[in-house]
Structure 1
Amino acid sequence: MGKNEPEAKQWFAIRVTYSREMALKEYLDRCRMESFIPMSYKEVIKGERKVRKLVPVIHNLVFVRSTREKLDEIKRDISLKVPIRYIMDRETRRPLVVPDRQMHSFIAVAGAYDEQIVYLDPTIVSLREGDRVRIVGGVFSGVEGIFIRIKGDRRVVVSIEGVMAVATAFVHPSLIEPVLQK
């Protein structure tokens, strides 16, 4: 990349402290920056009754699509009262960058807010097992991931290496095709 070419936007995994991920998201929305927080509905007690509320699945985690330069600028912005840190890639010791295609699949599944979606700790589930597949129909059409069984159902898992993984609801085998490895 030449000196005059603008840096390409990438998806970064960002950590915040004290469950202030929604405050960071509001700031990023005001700046017209693309971001994503995996959310799900939880029942919470409000007064005397149970209420369904949309809450972050993992507190302190925000995915941001930006340039490294712009994110570094935001980190230095003292008007932003939410300190942010990059989640680092252990091997390269550089900020973790999630490929666009992987993030697109992750958002397609995690953004559905379906009760049947299962969030997984990537250290517990070995995603090396199973075949790499693409869903070719239904609400998750176009999603790529690993085909495995969880809780007795066939599901497709999309993993953000070392951060988190999410599994779709049941996917009928007729809607799945293998992805050939390059």
Structure 2
Amino acid sequence: METGKAVPGAEIADQRQWYVMRDLKRCNAKLPAYKLLGDMKIEIFTPMVWKLVVRQGKRTLQRVPFMQDLLFVHERRRILDPIVERIGTLQYRFLRDGHRSPMTVDDTEMNRFMQAVASSENPCYYTPGEVTPDMVGRSVRIIGGPFNGLEGRLQKMQGARTRRLFVELPNLLIVSVEVQAEFIELLKK
């Protein structure tokens, strides 16, 4: 074996990346993967929504994952692999490239998405298939306010006084957040 050459993929395994993962536990599991990984002090992001849940005959409002099996984990692959091997219900989502490459999200895109969610009181999530061309309006940039610098497309809403901006993680998830009209700058086509 030659010395001084890096093992292919070793440099990737040593970089923290946002991995797209699946949690195959049931929705009523006491310790879903996002809580388990959070307890391990691993940085995670799970899109959450408020939902009316019935537990032991009582209806309560709870924050639950928008998509039960979707979570984003920011860690090194060499640290995640043993955890995935140990927890049978936690899996990487893979690209359809024939090489079983785990799906990742660029740090900049993920931070932009998380900023949009964190700055919104009522984010609305969509899967890419739920957003139709007639829902999507003009390309805009937000100048000022909590969404300063974000670019995206406005959501068309008949008769609505509020403006909502689509922020997308390509092919994964879209969030619609409310923006103030005075902060909207239209971009040229």
TM-score above 0.5: yes
Which TM-score band applies after superposition, normalised by the shorter structure? 0.7 to 0.9
Task: Tell me the residue number matched to 2:169.
Answer: 160
1:21 to partner: Cα distance: 9.6
1:34 to 32, 43, 52: 43
> Is contact 1:108-1:143 (8 Å) kept?
no
1:172 aligns with 2:177: no
1:61 to partner: Cα distance: 1.0
Identity %: 27
Please give the secondary structure, in 1, of the residue aligned with 2:116: helix
1:86 aligns with 2:92: yes
Structure 2 residues not aligned, in runs of 5+: none
> Is contact 1:40-1:114 (8 Å) kept?
no
Task: Tell me the residue number matched to 1:118.
Answer: 124
2:110 to 103, 112, 117: 103
CA displacement, residues 15-47 of structure 1 (integer Å, 9 cap, x when unaligned): 111235952123222322110111111223456
1:97 to partner: Cα distance: 1.1
Task: Tell me the residue number matched to 2:18.
Answer: 11
1:180 to partner: Cα distance: 8.8
- Going from structure 1 to structure 2, the CA distance change for 1:145 and 1:60 (only over 3 Å counts) comes to same
Larger Rg: 2
Please give the secondary structure, in 2, of the residue aligned with 1:168: strand
> Is contact 1:21-1:61 (8 Å) kept?
no
1:49 to partner: Cα distance: 5.7
Match for 2:45: what amino acid? F
> Is contact 1:39-1:110 (8 Å) kept?
no
- Measure the CA separation in 2 of the matches of 1:162 and 1:21: 30
1:70 to 69, 79, 92: 79
TM-score normalized by structure 2?
0.73
TM-score normalized by structure 1?
0.75
Query: Greater helix share, 1 or 2?
Result: 2
Total equivalences in the alignment: 174
1:95 to partner: Cα distance: 1.6
Measured on the aligned residues, the alpha-carbon RMSD in Å equals 3.2
- Going from structure 1 to structure 2, the CA distance change for 1:144 and 1:10 (only over 3 Å counts) comes to farther
